[in-house]
Amino acid sequence: MAQVSESKASSVQASIITIGDELLIGQVVDTNSAWMATELNKAGIWLRRRVSIGDNKAEIISTLDEESKNASVILITGGLGPTADDITKPVLCEYFGGKLVIDEKALANVQSIFARLNRPMIERNFKQAEVPDVCTVIQNKRGTAPGMWFEKNGKIFISMPGVPHEMKGMMTDYVLPRLQTHFTLPFINHRTLLTAGIGESFIAEYIQDWETALPVHIKLAYLPNYGMVRLRITGQGVDQNILQADLNKQFAALKELVKQWMVVDEDITLQQAIGNMLSKTGKTLATAESCTGGYIAHLITAIAGSSAWYKGSIVSYGNEIKEKLLNVSGDTLAAVGAVSEATVQQMLTGALIQLNTDYAVATSGIMGPGGGTADKPVGTVWIAAGSRQQVFTEKFSFRYDRKRNIEMTANFALNMLLKVIRNEVNGEQYKKELS
């Protein structure tokens, strides 16, 4: 244990610095940092801190000084654009004592992009091909701004554009492989499972003895989201086989402990788990969405290859669409309203028939902020999930804002759907565990 502990203490640590006034005025949500953190982690590099600062020279310099005190790798994104507010490149050039020179490969890249767009190049576009003469240039296959790799006092500084797909391309093609050869990195492995129907504090109580007994090189994280809790164990070690064996053993014990609440035992989304089941069995799926307004369809179709098992959705936002396209009875709508068990049952049947699939899921609810009544307050939702053989319905009461109510409904609908599919495929018992 002591050995492992020491190995962890001496492991490579990284900091991320994101640069741009847009990060400080709230214009942009930083999705880059989470992606970079995931990739660093997989590579065996621990992310220590993330700092976001404005396009300000003094602030950039003091942050470079500060972060390089404790981290060996400093990843920098943003501020490489062609406009006057983008100052990262000249500041880095000065910081590392270089001068800006044209990089011929970067210039050819900028020229080819402008040729493809059929746009004339102006002076500030040529400047995109300038780089400090004290860095290794990281070519940008997806945009005009080159990346830069600097080394100083044994620390590595990597500057990349803030545009997500450009940054991701550079990380994957160049930065991560080079970091992996530069350092002798430990192995970091994760195992993740998803639970539903139990709160974070109750799980913690329930698995307390197991958690306390975990060896020091394995850590547990509780990751609650949308009314469910993901449990992730992370292990670090110098021998991949031993590490895998240790993790497998602990993960098996954890799975056994939480089996009554476990939904998925992989680090995949509910919709991916559904897709895997349908792909395996050759079955198909349709959705009929009122209150989720296409969000479930979007979550599903964001999966590459989903067209093999997902046929489509009828987003019946208006009641007349529920009647016309999903064959919901006008009498039902008049008698019990659109947010009712009978309506979602009929929506589901309508989707199965109209889109001719094996499974379907249907949602109807009041997402807010308006539309609530004493009988059916904002957050009231009915969900139906099923097949031609069986239909399950459940009522939920969410109490969040519109956005989160939609996300919660989608997540609970997918969870019901997954259970229904498993029910039929494995003969498992459908459990009404959510409330």
* Min dist. Cβ of residue 96 to a copy of itself (A): 22
Between 155 and 230, whose beta carbon lies closer to a copy of itself?
Answer: 230
Q: Which amino acid is at 302?
A: A
Q: Which amino acid is at 405?
A: N
The label of the residue with tokens 């020179």 reads 101
Examine residue 34 and tell whether it contacts a copy of itself (CB under 8 A). Answer: yes
* Min dist. Cβ of residue 34 to a copy of itself (A): 5
Interaction mask 106-135, a copy of itself, x per CB under 8 A: -----------x-x--x-xx----------
Examine residue 30 and tell whether it contacts a copy of itself (CB under 8 A). Answer: yes
Number of residues that bind a copy of itself (CB under 8 A): 102
Report which of 361, 372, 263 is spatially closest to residue 313, judged by C-alpha positions. 361
Examine residue 279 and tell whether it contacts a copy of itself (CB under 8 A). Answer: no
CA dist 280 → 229, 274, 422 (Å): 26, 10, 12
Between 48 and 178, whose beta carbon lies closer to a copy of itself?
Answer: 48
* Min dist. Cβ of residue 65 to a copy of itself (A): 12
Q: Which position among 108, 115, 216, 302 is part of the footprint of a copy of itself (CB under 8 A)?
A: 302
Which residues ranging from 52 to 71 are in contact with a copy of itself (CB under 8 A)? 52-54, 59, 63, 66
Which residues ranging from 388 to 427 are in contact with a copy of itself (CB under 8 A)? 400-404, 406
Long-range contacts of 270-276 (CB under 8 A, 24+ apart): 270/194, 270/411, 270/414, 270/415, 270/418, 271/299, 271/300, 271/302, 271/303, 271/414, 272/303, 273/418, 274/300, 274/414, 274/417, 274/418, 274/421, 275/300, 275/303, 275/305, 275/306, 275/309, 275/310
- Helix or strand holding residue 285 (H, E): strand 285-289
Between 174 and 423, whose beta carbon lies closer to a copy of itself?
Answer: 174
Stretch that binds a copy of itself, among 40-48, 90-98, 268-276, 388-396 (CB under 8 A): 40-48
Q: What is the DSSP letter of 145?
A: P
Examine residue 8 and tell whether it contacts a copy of itself (CB under 8 A). Answer: no
Stretch that binds a copy of itself, among 72-80, 95-103, 150-158, 306-314 (CB under 8 A): 306-314
* Min dist. Cβ of residue 134 to a copy of itself (A): 26
Q: Which position among 12, 23, 170, 233 is part of the footprint of a copy of itself (CB under 8 A)?
A: 23
Q: Which amino acid is at 173?
A: D
Examine residue 46 and tell whether it contacts a copy of itself (CB under 8 A). Answer: yes
Q: Which position among 355, 413, 417, 420 is part of the footprint of a copy of itself (CB under 8 A)?
A: 355
Examine residue 81 and tell whether it contacts a copy of itself (CB under 8 A). Answer: yes
* Min dist. Cβ of residue 183 to a copy of itself (A): 18
Neighbours of 146 (CB within 10 A): 26
Stretch that binds a copy of itself, among 239-247, 317-325, 328-336, 382-390 (CB under 8 A): 317-325
Residue 61: half-sphere exposure toward Cβ, Cα within 13 Å: 9
Q: What is the DSSP letter of 157?
A: E
CA torsion, points 274, 276, 277, 280, in degrees to nearest 10?
A: 160
Examine residue 380 and tell whether it contacts a copy of itself (CB under 8 A). Answer: no
Distance between CA atoms of 313 and 357, rounded to whole angstroms?
Answer: 11
Stretch that binds a copy of itself, among 17-25, 94-102, 179-187, 240-248 (CB under 8 A): 17-25
Phi-psi region of 312 (alpha: psi -120 to 50; beta: other; left: phi over 0): left
Phi-psi region of 303 (alpha: psi -120 to 50; beta: other; left: phi over 0): beta
Q: Phi first, then psi: what are they for 8, rounded to 5°?
A: -65, -45
Which residues ranging from 178 to 217 are in contact with a copy of itself (CB under 8 A)? 199-202, 204-205, 211
Examine residue 223 and tell whether it contacts a copy of itself (CB under 8 A). Answer: yes
* Min dist. Cβ of residue 52 to a copy of itself (A): 4
Between 1 and 304, whose beta carbon lies closer to a copy of itself?
Answer: 304
Distance between CA atoms of 409 and 343, rounded to whole angstroms?
Answer: 16
In sequence order, which ranges of 96-192 are alpha helices (DSSP H)? 104-117, 123-127, 164-170, 176-182
Examine residue 22 and tell whether it contacts a copy of itself (CB under 8 A). Answer: yes
Which residues ranging from 235 to 264 are in contact with a copy of itself (CB under 8 A)? none
Interaction mask 142-181, a copy of itself, x per CB under 8 A: ----------------------xx--x-------------
